[in-house]
Structure 1
């Protein structure tokens, strides 16, 4: 397995997909050997020097702790790392939508973590196992770190990250959810977690079937009308981001605290949870015997 780069930058930067390509070497994708990092630093666009959020050390410490704590079950690292990554790297959604920051984090700061978490897997045609390049630079539902940050953003309930832990314990849920615009509706996200916690749907096939049914129903039903949400206060997020400079490292054993936003109205979550439970009864779950 590849090791931590010899040269780890002190600050996050922006690494374009084109600039990243030469560093996605065959040795890296096979999990054999990474790069030293010195040459890569020459093609990175710097972020503002006066912003404490771009410090790499807290992020590097997090991934090192995750690798140590979850060495026997790497998939479980997602639930632990997602809320802590989100609370450490305090971004606006616009900033998080810039793939260049995730390219840099994956290739320059923690390529060893990407290779550890998403180990080389057999490819079609029986060729030598490789890491999916999308884990380093890819869509938000695939890239190693952006998928966790966005999962935390979508599934947190105001400042409470507990629903994020539950959501990230199911790979099918977060993969499907991050590709659905509907999950940007906070009551929908919280209801999905409730459905999971109540054991209504849990396997990959069940989650896939439920998400398909929700998406189809959403084309004819406006979830905002069925389950209204509280308007978000942008000041809460601005304040939380401003506090990044003085914030201590995120706790390792307790959950961190997110922006001080109003939680999702409980009535809306309960309404949608029941609605989704009913949808699931007729959802297209592969292999399930239809009810008479």
Structure 2
């Protein structure tokens, strides 16, 4: 397995996708060789030096701990890393929507983690192991680190990251639901997690079927009316971001705390959980027989 680049930058930066392409070498995608890092540092756009959020060391420490702790089961690292990455890299949604930040994180700071987490296992049809390029610079629901940050952002319940852990234990949920705009409705996100936790929805096919049903119903039913949410005060997020300079490293064995926002109204979560359970009874789940 490859190691980290010999030159790891001290601070995060912005890396255009076109500038990133030359570093997505065959050796890197096969998990055999990583770039040195020096040439990559020449093509980035630097971020403000007075912002403590861009220091790389806390992120490097997290990914190295994840690789050690979950070396026997790489997929379990997602549920552990997602809330801690979000609480360490305190971003606004506009900042998180900038793919250039994630390009730099995956290629300059932690390409060894991307390979460790997403290097495929050999099969009869594809005997050569490889990492899809989209894990380094791809859409938000596929890129190695952005998918975890957005999962934490959309599934946290105010300051509580516990629902994020539950959501990230199901790979299909991240792949299916993060692409649906409806998940930005906080009661919807919490209701989906509630269905996972109570065991009604378990398999990947069931998650995909539920996601399709929720999205289709959302076209004709306004979830805000059925399950209203509280308006979020942006002051809490701004304060949380401002505290990044003095915040200690996130705990490894306890969940961190997110922005001090009000949780989702419980009555709204209950209402949508019951409604989605009814939707799921007729959801298009592949392989499910009529009457199951």
Mapping 1:24-43, distance limit 5 Å: 24-43=24-43
In structure 2, C-alpha distance between the alignment counterparts of 1:88 and 1:229, rounded to whole Å:
26
Match of 2:109 in 1: 109
Per-residue Cα deviation, 1:43-73 (whole angstroms, up to 9, x for no partner)? 0100000000000000000000000000000
List runs of 5+ in structure 2 lacking aligned partners: none
Q: Normalising by structure 1, what TM-score? A: 0.98
Q: How far off its partner does 1:121 sit?
A: 4.9
2:75 aligns to what?
75
Q: How many residues align?
A: 292
Q: Say what the alpha-carbon RMSD is for the aligned residues.
A: 1.3
How far off is 1:129 after superposition? 3.0
> What TM-score, normalized by structure 2, do the two folds share?
0.98
Aligned to 2:46: 46
Alpha carbons 1:236, 1:261 under 8 Å: kept: yes
> CA contact under 8 A between 1:14 and 1:104: conserved in structure 2?
yes
After the TM superposition, which residues 1-292 of structure 1 pair with which residues of structure 2 at under 5 Å, given as runs?
Answer: 1-121=1-121, 126=126, 128-291=128-291
Distance 1:7 1:260, change over 3 A: same
- The SS at the match of 1:264 is coil
Q: Deviations over 1:148-187 (max 9, x none)?
A: 0000000000000000000000001111111000000000
SS at match of 1:38: coil
Gaps of 5+ in 1: none
- The answer to whether the 8 A contact 1:60-1:109 is kept is yes
* Distance in 1 (alpha carbons) for counterparts of 2:117 and 2:129: 15
